[in-house]
Structure 1
Amino acid sequence: MSLLTAKSAGLRRLRGNGVLLLAGVLVLAISIVAAIGAGAVPIPGSTVFKVLVNGVVPGYFEVDWSKGREAIVWEIRFPRALLAGFVGAGLAVVGAALQSVTRNPLADPHLLGISSGAAAGAILALLHTGLFLGLMTVPLMAFAGALAATFLVLGVTRFASATSADRLVLAGVAVSFIIMAIANILIFLGDPRATHTVVFWMLGGLGLAQWAQLPFPLGILLLVAPYFLLRSADLNAMTIGDETASTLGIPVARFRLTVFVLGALITGVMVAFSGIIGFVGLMVPHIARFLVGGNYSRVLPASMMLGAIFLIWADIIARTLLSPEDMPIGIVTGLIGGIFFVLLLRSRTGQAH
């Protein structure tokens, strides 16, 4: 009977995960259609659907919309919605992985200084070095900055003997302030005619999304996210502690460094195309754990799905709240994330008592 009970429980979990996945895909599709339709020029969802279908299967629907609306859908809003999804998924999966290897629920690319390093590298490319490697210049410089920030955080923790997870986050915050000061100096020394664009970009924005850019964030996700998924069991072990992970044969130091480097790679590319968008990596993994439990084989894909949905809706708010003005999306995520951060601290304080 116990074996039958275990099998039935497993089938129920599998069925439940399938329902959640299907619901997530449906909500994601609805979110993309809503994002394409929202804006200074609202477009009905039915029209958006017809334009998208006709783009894939020409002539499937009779054209009853203007060329202008078709251009808005295909050339402006659709790539922007996809970029929001890619960036949200990338930042969320990095946040989930970092929270595991640091054993700190407050860890995310923004708090650990990785986003700031990516921003500094991108600003250096945009204002000083120029695009000497073509379109790859900004992503590569952003990755280099994120990687430098990662090693700087690890170096500070070693120098200060801050080996605990909490102190690692504090070291990340300190490094983030230092790097942002350097980034501000680069802006101050840059061309004044270009600095206003960079300042807007530093606050986070998806308004420059283009089809030619989308292969970079998508490619990084397809390249790196499977590694995290394949190592989900190791991430589960890391949440328990280094000693437990070591007894299971996991090279703890090397695995943690690998996660940091791959996290820097994803963060650097995402920041290069979207600017600094904070708190996505902090909030979304907690919501994913609440929905699917603590097993990283479910937490990681759920975080990616929820991260994409969250950032798409954050972008909708940013575009419509002060329409026709386009508010930086970092303001929206910062406001929501700050409130979530306070509530998370309160809940952890309550648990401690």
Structure 2
Amino acid sequence: MRRGWRWGWIAPPVLLIAFVAGASIGETPIPAHTVLTVLANKLFGAAFAVDRIDAGIVWNYRLSRAVVAACCGAGLALAGVVLQALLRNALADPYLLGISAGASTGAVAVAVAGVGGGMVSLSAGAFIGAAAAFVLVAALARAAGGGAGVQAAGVIVLAGIAGSQLFNALTTFVIAKSANAEQARGIMFWLLGNLSGVRWPDAWLAVPAALLAVAVCIYHIRTLDAFTFGADSAASLGIAVRRCQALLIGVTALVTAIMVSLVGSIGFVGLVIPHAMRFVVGVRHGLLVPASALAGAVFLIASDIISRIVIPGQVLPIGVITALVGAPVFALILVRGRAGR
């Protein structure tokens, strides 16, 4: 536990470095000391002289992107930690289990098809879609009767793939039926992960969602450790299994839905980051939870930086970068894990 608290001291300087890098690096480089000057002026009321254009780029554009990226990375990484523990499935994450696809369908249905008649927000639509996707995947896996162990894990993954394909098809249908050419182009770019349009109002939604995920996971560290050995073992330790499952999965779906409604569907974060951190800190959730949150935040900020500079004059969807980095890393993790056995 003491080692777990150390991450609370490590996180602020690491995040500060990541935020400064995110605000400094871009098509137009801005010196780090300028970024720090802008932060001092905005946060602490200092009156240092700084170019107004640089200040606008740093504060209104790049820093807000970095904050939202960090929140999304931390939230998705913790969603992967929770799902992998509860389902005892190393391949469980919001993207693979169809939760991200369901959230995308719900968000697109509200934004393009006008579902709810203006009474339902984008985040609420995404949450409804995420919850529906998880219920469908769970029901399909239960109906398939996967048994236990490897067979059960395989059934859950197959059910997740089926759910993802279904909700991706529904999203495409809604776009084709209700969106014009310009809307369709923008939505398809957004679905691959896009931070170009995020600003500080989005951060006011992303930050509480990420803090909620961190707080719930830290509060339920013992529960997550218990579920690693199965629901029966958790119940024997006095864990209220159904209540904890409902709470943790509900929070996972909510956080995923909020992040998808802000930046689109981003894959591999919830899958790769928890596995990578297990190699670093081990499997105890007292260390895994803070390490995964911090690594997810830094990883998505770095991916956003790469998406802005890899092609001059063009911004790539961030989901492309996470897939290009995450797929080889996950393949390496699989190979190392097999060699370790």
Pairwise TM-score range, normalised by the shorter structure: over 0.9
Q: TM-score, normalised by structure 1?
A: 0.90
Provide the residue aligned with 1:158 in structure 2: 142
* Structure 1 partner of 2:41: 54
Give the percent of matched residue pairs that are identical in Structure 1 and Structure 2. 36
Residue 119 of structure 1 deviates from its aligned partner by 0.6
Query: 2:14: which partner in 1?
Result: 27
Output the CA distance in 1 between the equivalents of 2:43 and 2:257: 32
Deviates more, 1:82-91 or 1:47-56: 47-56
Contact 1:97 1:235 in 2 (8 A): yes
Pairing 1:182–2:170 present: yes
Once the two structures are superposed, the pairs formed by residues 330-349 of structure 1 within 5 Å of their partners are: 330-349=319-338
Task: Measure the CA separation in 2 of the matches of 1:252 and 1:130.
Answer: 35
2:156 aligned with 1:172: no
Unaligned ranges ≥5, structure 2: none
1: distance between equivalents of 2:16 and 2:116? 35
Is 1:84–1:312's contact at 8 Å kept on the other side of the alignment? yes
Please state how far the C-alpha of 1:20 moved relative to its aligned partner: 4.9
Contact 1:17–1:292 at 8 Å: present in 2 too?
no
Aligned equivalents of 2:134, 2:216: Cα separation in 1: 19
The two structures, once aligned, show a CA RMSD in angstroms of: 1.9
Report the Cα distance in structure 2 between the residues aligned to 1:17 and 1:259, rounded to whole angstroms. Answer: 20
Q: Which residue of 2 aligns with 1:298?
A: 287
Deviations 1:8-63 (A, max 9, x none): xxxxx73x5555543443222111101101112111111111111111233442x1
User: Are 1:153 and 1:168, in contact at CA under 8 Å, matched by a contact in 2?
Assistant: yes
Contact in 2 for aligned 1:39/1:324 (Cα 8 Å): no
What is residue 235 of structure 2 aligned with on the other side? 246
Residue deviations 1:282-339, cap 9 Å, x none? Answer: 1111222222222112211111111101100010000111122111100000111111
Q: How does 1:1-353 map to 2 (within 5 A)?
A: 14=2, 17=4, 20-61=7-48, 63=49, 65-129=50-114, 132-133=117-118, 137-163=121-147, 164-189=152-177, 190-352=179-341
C-alpha displacement of 1:205:
1.0
Report if the CA contact (8 A) 2:96-2:161 is conserved. Answer: yes
State the AA in 2 paired with 1:103.
R
Aligned length: 336
- Normalised by the size of structure 2, how large is the TM-score? 0.93
Deviates more, 1:250-259 or 1:297-306: 250-259
1:78-133 CA-to-partner distances (Å, cap 9, x unmatched) read: 11110001000100111101110111122111111100000111111121107854
Residue identity in the other structure for 2:195: L
Q: Contact conserved, 2:275 with 2:333, CA < 8 A, in 1?
A: no
Q: Which has the larger radius of gyration?
A: 1
1:149–1:175 contact (8 Å) kept in structure 2: yes
Q: Distance in 1 between matches of 2:45 and 2:12?
A: 25
- Partner amino acid for 2:144? A
Question: Cα offset for 1:74?
Answer: 1.1
Equivalent pair of 2:102/2:129 in contact (CA under 8 Å): yes
Determine helix, strand or coil for the equivalent of 1:90: helix
Aligned AA for 2:210?
A: L
Moved over 4 A (4+): 16-21, 130-134
Spell out, residue by residue over 1:246-287, the C-alpha distance to the aligned partner (whole angstroms, 9 max, x if none). Answer: 211223344333322221111000000011110101111122
Query: Distance between the aligned counterparts of 2:116 and 2:30, measured in 1?
Result: 36
Tell me how far 1:193 sits from its aligned partner: 2.2
